[in-house]
Homo-oligomer: A and B are copies of this chain.
Amino acid sequence: MKTNILQKFELFNDHWSPKIIGELNGQQLKLAKVKGDFVWHDHANEDELFLVYKGTLFLDFRDRETVELNPGDFYIVPKGVQHFPRTKNGMEVWLLLLEPASTKHTGEEKTELTVEECEWI
Contact with B along A21-40 (1 / 0, CB 8 A): 01111010100000000000
Q: How large is the interface on A (under 10, 10 to 19, 20 to 34, 35 or more residues)?
A: 20 to 34
**Contact indicator B48/A6 (Cβ below 8 Å):** no
Q: Which of B2, B73, B98 contacts A3 (CB 8 A)?
A: B73
Q: Does A100 belong to the interface (CB within 8 Å)?
A: yes
A contact residues vs B (CB 8 Å cutoff): 1-7, 22-25, 27, 29, 46-49, 51, 67-69, 72-76, 98-100
Those 10 A-B pairs whose CB atoms lie nearest each other, nearest first: A24-B47, A2-B75, A24-B76, A5-B72, A2-B73, A25-B47, A6-B72, A4-B73, A4-B72, A3-B74
